[in-house]
Amino acid sequence: MKDTVDRLTPMGVMVLALLREADMHPYEMVRLMRARHDDRLITITNGTLYHTVARLQKAGLIDELGTDRDGNRPERTTYTLMDAGRDAVIAWVRRELPRVDRPAEFRVALAEAHNLERDDLRELLHERRAALFADHRTHYDGLHSSRAKGVPEQVMVEIERQEALLEAELRWLDSLLARLDADSIPWGPSAFSPSDRYLAQRKAAQQ
């Protein structure tokens, strides 16, 4: 499983996560990703997605259900998620959530964190908080020490920015953990209830 997870790209994780929702064809995947503005997180192109789908199938994480044609449209192959693919999504998200050295991967992991159960998510986020706190303390102490030594402010602006970003993320993370602890957010796969907007979005993507 580790080798499989290590080879997963953020695009691959998002494709597997889509197939956790339902069986679908690549064209629907692309439309859903764009409708959900997932291009904030990854670069979405038809070529990259089709290549990713082929790689996931070769790895045994997804499989073809069948091919159909609707009117004059090109043939569309529908894919389904295999058990190995379902496990790979969870393993990848669990690996990336606590890490503070891979910001791009963390954003994708956080976007897919709803695939985890509440207790699992809380544990991973507490691990992340400990790492963030240590990183923030290093930047904070470094800034104050440098200022005390008379280091010019103009050479410390990047450190200053990073310290501020780390402090802001710690505040946000504490807020999220408090809401998770208070059960004020419905969480986990079993807590998801398809809204009218979600169903309309899915229907539009299938056209």
Question: How many residues in the chain?
Answer: 207
Query: Is the separation of the CB atoms in 79 and 53 below 8 Å?
Result: yes
pLDDT digits (tens, 9 = 90+) for 119-160: 999 999 999 999 999 999 999 999 999 999 999 999 999 999
Whole-structure pTM value: 0.89
Q: Are residues 102 and 78 in the same domain?
A: yes
- The reply to whether 179 and 196 lie within a common domain is no
Please report where in the chains the tokens 């996560």 appear, as a residue.
Answer: 17
Domain co-membership, 48 together with 77 = yes
Identify whether residues 102 and 59 lie together within a single domain.
Answer: yes
CATH code, domain with 92:
1.10.10.10
Same domain, 100 and 157: no
Please write the tens of the pLDDT for every residue from 2-59: 788 889 999 999 999 999 999 999 999 999 999 999 999 999 999 999 999 999 999 9
Longest CA–CA span in the chain (Å) reads 74
Q: How many domains does the chain have?
A: 2
Q: Are 37 and 91 found together in one domain?
A: yes
**DSSP string for 95-139:** HHTT-SS-HHHHHHHHHTGGGS-HHHHHHHHHHHHHHHHHHHHHH
Domain that holds residue 196: 2-112+191-205
